[in-house]
Amino acid sequence: MNNSSTNIENPVFSTESLALVHKIMKRYPEGKQKSALIPVLHLAQAEFGGWLSPKVMDYVASLLSIQPIEVYEVASFYTMFNLKPVGKCLIEVCRTSSCWLLGAEDIVHHIERKLNIKEGETTTDGMFTLKTVECLGSCGTAPMMMVGADFHENLTLEKVDDLLEKFRVENKQSRYC
């Protein structure tokens, strides 16, 4: 997905992604192309910098021949869609029951201290955004966090340190799908 226009002022999918959009639209019956909205928004978020700007949403609306408002109302309902820019590396720590019983709060506070940000914020260098999220289905391997699309489980503070270090060294860009 590298020949796309990542210019979010004038977003255009790469040829490869456009082909995928058309393939996705064919999964649904004639006239029901709106069903493709969520899968296509995932693609758009992955391709246009990890978030959905109004321009990107308008572009998706035009691709699916629906009204922009139909895209906005969906994008704002689902927590996985970021309506504001996020850091290169999006860290989402599960805060629910099983993870929390096993120390999720410690993990969050530790990352806050290490990165010198609060939950919901992005580091000044634009590298990391930290969020907390609800149960991600890793309760048996708690505590856990998701980075982009990748699961990191059975966390300890040391493991978190190692991961943060690794992401920084690699200048990691989160994958979104």
Q: In whole angstroms, how close is the CB of 155 to ligand FES at the nearest point?
A: 10
Name the residues that contact ligand FES, by CB under 6 A. Answer: 94, 96-99, 135-139, 142, 144
Q: In whole angstroms, how close is the CB of 141 to ligand FES at the nearest point?
A: 8
Site string (57-76) toward another protein, x via CB under 8 A: -------x-x---x--xx--
Would you say 135 and 146 are in contact if contact means Cβ atoms under 8 Å apart? no
Query: Looking at beta carbons only, is 16 or 134 nearer to another protein?
Result: 134
Cis peptide before 29 (omega within 30 of 0): no
Contact partner, 144, from another protein, ligand FES, none, Cβ < 5-8 Å per class: ligand FES
Q: Are strands 128-133 and 89-94 parallel, antiparallel or unpaired?
A: parallel
One-letter amino acid identity for 46? A
| Interface pick for another protein out of 81, 89, 122, 163 (rule CB under 8 A) | 81
Work out the burial of residue 35: count CB atoms within 10 Å of its CB; fewer than 13 is exposed, 13-18 middle, 19 or more buried: middle
